[in-house]
Amino acid sequence: MSEEREAVLGPFAEVGSAGAPARLGIMGGTFDPIHFGHLACAQQALEAMQLDGVLFMPAGIPSFKRDRKVAPAADRVRWCRLAVAGNDRFAVSTLEVDRPGITYAVDTLSTLRTICPASVELYFILGADAALTLPRWYESQRLATLARFAVATRPGYPFSETDGRALEEQGFRLDPFRVTPLDISSSNLRARLAEGLSVRYLTPDPVAACLMDGLWYRKDGVAHDQ
């Protein structure tokens, strides 16, 4: 069990050991690619919910994005690792990308629930756009029992009190919190990369450099000048 805990939780393997109360954040996403919107969201969740750490959890085969080609999991994981390097409250887990088949949050959270001591409260962090879709997630009723849901503000996606109440009526325990509005999306980065434009200042420098070094998302197969 402790080996599995180490493999899945990395530096957070010891959270809640000896029954100490702890709070672990899980930042799920496709991260295709990761950007400052994700990082600011995780950082501000950490502060708002007083989390011990945030585990970035890149999706293997995301159930909502089967209609378009997603960058290979190994690359998305690598960009996430580059992005969180140097922050000891952030780590990347490959639990979802290592699991065969479509990724469902309910499976991820039930694995984490089994691995973590009962004294660890799990906080699934997600933006307002994603939160509004929760009732349509696979096994949403069971999902609601497995974690608290930290809902971040996101520009362009209003999340009203009525929206919150509707989710609570379905059993979701919510912690809405404000994030510095950053109108950045992976779609936006992909569109820039497709045109050969720079993604510097939209994602950490090592990620931007890696993205522009390669041919990911390029329409014409020509490398960037940086």
Which residues, listed in sequence order, are joined to residue 174 by a DSSP beta bridge?
A: 149
Stretch that binds ligand ATP, among 5-13, 24-32, 91-99, 116-124 (CB under 6 A): 24-32
Q: Is the alpha carbon torsion for 56, 135, 61, 193 positive or negative?
A: negative
Distances (CA, A) of 224 to 21, 160, 203, 210, 216: 48, 42, 16, 11, 10
The nearest distance, CB 30 to ligand ATP, in angstroms, is 4
The nearest distance, CB 184 to ligand ATP, in angstroms, is 5
Q: By beta-carbon distance, which residue lies closest to ligand ATP?
A: 127
- Binding residues for ligand ATP, rule CB under 6 A, total 19
The footprint of ligand ATP on residues 126-145 (CB under 6 A) is 126-127, 129-130
Tell me: does residue 44 bind ligand ATP (CB under 6 A): no
CB of 24 or CB of 130, closer to ligand ATP: 130
Which residues, listed in sequence order, are joined to residue 159 by a DSSP beta bridge?
A: none
Tell me: does residue 163 bind ligand ATP (CB under 6 A): no
Tell me: does residue 31 bind ligand ATP (CB under 6 A): yes
Q: Which one among 16, 25, 26, 30 touches ligand ATP, defined by CB under 6 A?
A: 30
H helix or E strand, kind and range, residue 170: none
Q: Which two tokens stand for residue 141?
A: 């009723």
Phi then psi for 225, rounded to 5 degrees?
A: -90, -5
CB of 115 or CB of 186, closer to ligand ATP: 186
The nearest distance, CB 65 to ligand ATP, in angstroms, is 7
* Dist CA 207 CA 199 (whole Å): 9
Q: Is the alpha carbon torsion for 86, 80, 38, 10 positive or negative?
A: negative
The nearest distance, CB 46 to ligand ATP, in angstroms, is 14
The footprint of ligand ATP on residues 175-214 (CB under 6 A) is 179, 182, 184-187
State the Rg of the chain over Cα: 17
The nearest distance, CB 11 to ligand ATP, in angstroms, is 21
Distances (CA, A) of 102 to 52, 59, 92, 171, 179: 29, 9, 19, 24, 30
The nearest distance, CB 20 to ligand ATP, in angstroms, is 28
Q: Look at strands 120-127 and 102-103 and give their pairing.
A: unpaired
Would you tell me which residues interact with ligand ATP (CB under 6 A)? Answer: 29-32, 37-38, 41, 126-127, 129-130, 152, 154, 179, 182, 184-187
